[in-house]
Amino acid sequence: MIDKLDKPLGRRRGKAKPPESKTNLPRLPIVPIAIGIMALVIGAPLAWIFFVDNPEGGRPVANVEVNSVVDSNELARNLTVEEQSQAEEPDTGVVEAGNSEQLIVNTDDLPDSDNAAVGGLVRKDMLELSQHGYIPQVASNGDRPVDVYARPSISASTADGKPLIAIVVTGLGLSKDGSNSAIDRLPDDFTLAFAPYGKSVAEIAGKAREGGHEVMLQVPLEPFDYPQNDPGPQTLLVGQSVRSNLDRLYWLMSQIQGYTGIINHMGAKFTSSSGDFEPIMEEIALRGLAYVDDGTSNRSVAPQLAQRSGADFAVADITLDDTPSQARILEQLSRLEIRAREKGHAIGLATVLPISVRTLTEWAQTLEDKGIILVPVSALYTHHDGS
């Protein structure tokens, strides 16, 4: 018993087992493993991009139109709706279009003067080749497009006291079928204004002139709620440099030929800004064109600028189809007739909507009995000399 107590506590009898040596543990290649992991992390994406056609596969992707604008107006929305491409026409020597692909640069066969308006022709001496295509200019002898391309008509001084009414129908050129229908149905004294977009706009404008209509060009100007309300590509903007806005104007001017003047499309903000608008009005006058204000903004400085620059000018009195129903259009036409009787003449504005074209065509047939004369808008211009 005593012997047992003399033994050290916790020890077993017999030979003690030596501790296990640390050198017996297996060694792991830590550095090569780390390098391999890093290579895998970096190399896998690179291999995926290299071998797979779609490196963004699996990511949510959305395609967004760069020019798409929420609640853009009908004119801008219609830009993407165009007709099938037309067959190439033979070279006739007549300038019919605005961009460099459609223009016929050889103008040797174009008339120099006199009856250029007959048959929808344009005069080569009234064309200037810009970087965007041909744009109108005053001829060397002083002839102006506003005079040469105007439809011959009775004037206030030769109307024997009868009231005169001019109506400008806007928005042609966006729909080929709708435009051709309007050209065929509306009497020749209706003035037709073309939106400067679409592959067939120059062709349709030429057809309108061949049919006897007087033609104008719609120019998109900045409204107060731009870009939520977008008049369309190449809109003239407040705050842009004069050079930039003139470049846009030249592009717009080059899209059709043979027009007498410019009418604004929207533009309440732009037409209220003298600093931005004045260089444009001066350019319009310099090129022998007229300016028609659509009359929708009471803040427009167009009358003052037209007088200062010497541009022929007119302003629309009433928009006829702001509500596109026959009853409303007829009501507005009655107001237009009253206005014409009160001051001797009046100008109405309408769009190329089928209901508008049909109503206007039927209304025009009643004018002779009413003692009212329908005239192109050029007959009602206020000229730069105040006449």
pLDDT digit string (tens) for 60-110? Answer: 333 333 333 333 344 433 433 333 333 333 333 334 333 333 333 345 556
Q: What is the pLDDT of residues 159-196, one digit of tens each?
A: 999 999 999 999 999 999 999 999 999 999 999 999 99
**What is the structure's pLDDT at 30?**
67
211: left (phi over 0), alpha (psi -120 to 50) or beta: alpha
Q: Give 259's contacts (C-beta < 8 A, 6+ positions apart).
A: 136, 145, 149, 194, 205, 215, 216, 217, 289
| Model pLDDT, residue 41 | 59
Q: In this structure, what are the phi and psi dihedrals at residue 189, rounded to the nearest 5 degrees?
A: -80, -5
- pLDDT, tens digit, 9 for 90 and up, residues 132-162: 999 999 999 999 999 999 999 998 888 999 9
Residue 21 has pLDDT above 80, yes or no: no
Instruction: Find out whether the peptide bond into 227 is cis, omega within 30 degrees of 0.
Output: yes
Q: Is residue 12 over pLDDT 50?
A: no
Work out the mean pLDDT of the chain and round it to a whole number: 81
Question: Quick one: pLDDT at residue 310?
Answer: 97
Say how many C-beta atoms besides its own lie within 10 A of residue 106's C-beta.
12
Percent of the chain with pLDDT over 90: 66
